[in-house]
Amino acid sequence: MKVAFVNLTGGGLSGGSRKTMTRLLPQLLQEPDVQIKLFLHPRMDIFSSESGLECYLWPEKDHLRGYPALKNAIRQYQPDIVFIPNSILPDFGNVPTVIMVRNMEVLTRPVGGNKLRQAAKNLLRRYLFKRSCRKATRVIAVSQFVKEYLIEKWHIAQEKIDVVYHGIDAEESKPVKPQKLQCMDTDKFILSSGSFVSYRGYEDAIKSFAAASLADTSLILAGDVKGDDKYIKKIRHMIKALGMESKIILPGFLSQSEMSWCYANCSIFVMTSRIEACPNVVLEALSFGCVNISTLSPPMPEIFASAAQYYNPGDIDQLKELLVICNNLNEATRKKYSGTAKERAACFSWKKNSSNLINILKNVLRLHAK
């Protein structure tokens, strides 16, 4: 089976996208009857060297003309199937195509608190995503929540959609304490992570943490602080107004080794997000056996299952109470919660992700051949 693996981005990759590429590709390469060629933006050539796969880098401005060079390269490769781990699908003729939907911000909150230019870009992407879902031979949703949205909101046929969760595997990198956290005056801390965008809901953690008055405990909000300037300014102002500048730390982007240390050493992991598809930070928190608190916003209960305590988004009193309870757990209860989280993490793996994907691609080819 010849697969054209096409990553249609402008050259940038989110943490989740990068993890999908670095974890999924090695698993796919273990399949003996699968031949893969990468089709990537020129700024993504690192993946061709890391994977050792044959790779085509299309011209940087190719997307402005409708990807003519990319389409020609795919025609020359003559793949049996095209797999796109994004939601945009150019016209590749009669070749069966499988796309993946894993960005719910664009689908449900394209405007949000974004600047006009970003909001307009998101609206265009939302239109392209919707059109692509209708054109694709098969659509992969990364959670049941995503699948239900596509069926109920976009009226995509249920039988056309498969659910394949992201995977989580033990990180090979050794945990390293971030240099940016050397300023903490205590070793006990609560962790929340993810890039700073308005739907992330960090206000919940900040207000509840301030109200809880937890002695000798810090709150770390780890994530890229470059992007949504308005939201970041709001968060910084809130922290200052609450007088919590010495106890709430925004270290910015942390490497995987540094995040591993944070997961392994936090007293609680808090997921405050309002909207996700299949969040990698949740899978990582589970794999490290964190004591978890999460919003009831989907798909968090679908992913955490019984491995988290839940609160209604925006309910500061409810989250405050959970923070106090979980921060004071005895060692036996903490170990019990940690064990439940690791058991849940075992339900997700990149090996399982790859196997499900291969089965979907093969099934698409069988149906296409009829």
Q: Tokens at residue 201, please?
A: 């809901």
222: enclosing H helix or E strand: strand 218-222
Q: Are residues 339 and 354 in the same domain?
A: no
φ, ψ of residue 21 in degrees (nearest 5):
-65, -50
Q: What is the DSSP letter of 176?
A: -
172 in a domain, yes or no? no
Q: Are residues 142 and 194 in the same domain?
A: no
Q: Are residues 202 and 322 in the same domain?
A: yes
Q: Tokens at residue 266, please?
A: 């936090």
Query: Largest Cα–Cα distance of the chain, in whole Å?
Result: 67
d(CA 111, CA 93): 33
Q: Are residues 151 and 238 in the same domain?
A: no
The pLDDT of residue 29 is 82
Q: Are residues 335 and 358 in the same domain?
A: no
Q: Is residue 45 left, alpha or beta, with left meaning phi > 0 and alpha meaning psi from -120 to 50? A: alpha
173 in a domain, yes or no? no
Q: Are residues 263 and 361 in the same domain?
A: no
> Residue 278 belongs to what domain range?
179-345
Encode 248-271 in three state secondary structure: EEEEECCCHHHHHHHHHHCCEEEE
Q: What is the CATH number of the domain that holds 207?
A: 3.40.50.2000
174 in a domain, yes or no? no
- Identity at 180, one-letter amino acid code: K
d(CA 3, CA 265): 41
pTM to 2 decimal places: 0.91
Q: Tokens at residue 22, please?
A: 């670095």
Under 8 Å between Cβ of 122 and 106: yes
- What total of structural domains would you count in the chain? 2
Half-sphere exposure for 201 (CA within 13 Å, toward CB): 20
Q: How far is CA 131 from the centre of its chain?
A: 22
φ, ψ of residue 6 in degrees (nearest 5):
-115, 115
Q: Let me know how long the chain is.
A: 370
Q: Are residues 14 and 79 in the same domain?
A: yes
pLDDT per residue rounded down to tens, the chain (370 residues): 999 999 887 655 566 667 777 788 888 888 888 899 999 888 776 666 666 678 899 888 888 888 999 999 999 999 999 999 888 888 888 899 999 998 888 888 766 666 677 778 778 888 889 999 999 999 999 999 999 999 999 999 999 999 999 998 765 568 899 988 887 767 899 999 998 988 999 999 999 999 999 989 999 999 988 767 888 999 999 999 999 999 999 999 999 899 999 999 999 999 999 999 999 999 999 999 999 999 999 999 999 999 999 999 999 999 999 999 999 999 999 999 999 999 999 999 998 999 999 999 999 999 887 7
CA-closest candidate to residue 104, choices 222, 172, 199: 199
